[in-house]
Amino acid sequence: MNDRLVIDTSAWVEFFLGTDLGEKLRDLLSKNEIYIPFPTLTEVYYILCRLRGRTFAAKTLGKVVKSKGHIGTSISLAVEMGKIKCHRTISLADAGVIALTRLKEGAAVFKKKEREIKQEMEEQPLSIPFIFLEDLE
């Protein structure tokens, strides 16, 4: 398995809600170098805010920022995200995960094969390795 992982919002939400899939992410977090695109932080906050309230979301985001994860905020990331988004129908946050995965030569971690990602993979390969938590033992 790749030692550089870029974690998607869906996987983080599972982790912070304490689900079985979140436990699978916990195992990956302890054994790999972790990267987080900046837009993912926004998504994690607003989703957790809607599910559990502002206080929970803020504390959780603080844990992510203080973790061993590297937050992607570079101009090269912004340009790569823009290139991906220009030609694909995926969300900007997913473009961020894919772009940072390319830049770090890692693997992208998603909760499951989301419809948009699956469609993009079928139409034109994304040229990065994916890990789907739902597929892990």
Q: Is the pLDDT of residue 40 over 70?
A: yes
Q: What percent of the chain has pLDDT over 70?
A: 99
Per-residue confidence (pLDDT) for residue 115, from 0 to 100:
83
Q: Is the pLDDT of residue 119 over 90?
A: no
Lowest average pLDDT, out of 45-49, 71-75, 132-136, goes to 71-75
Q: Which fold has domain 4-135?
A: Rossmann fold (3.40.50)
Mean pLDDT of the chain: 92
Per-residue confidence (pLDDT) for residue 1, from 0 to 100:
55
SS3 7: strand
Q: What is the pLDDT of residues 78-106, one digit of tens each?
A: 999 999 999 998 999 999 999 999 999 99
Per-residue confidence (pLDDT) for residue 4, from 0 to 100:
96
The residues spanned by each domain of the chain are 4-135
| Sequence-separated (6 or more) residues with CB below 8 Å from residue 68 | 33, 34
Which two tokens mark 78? Answer: 């912004």
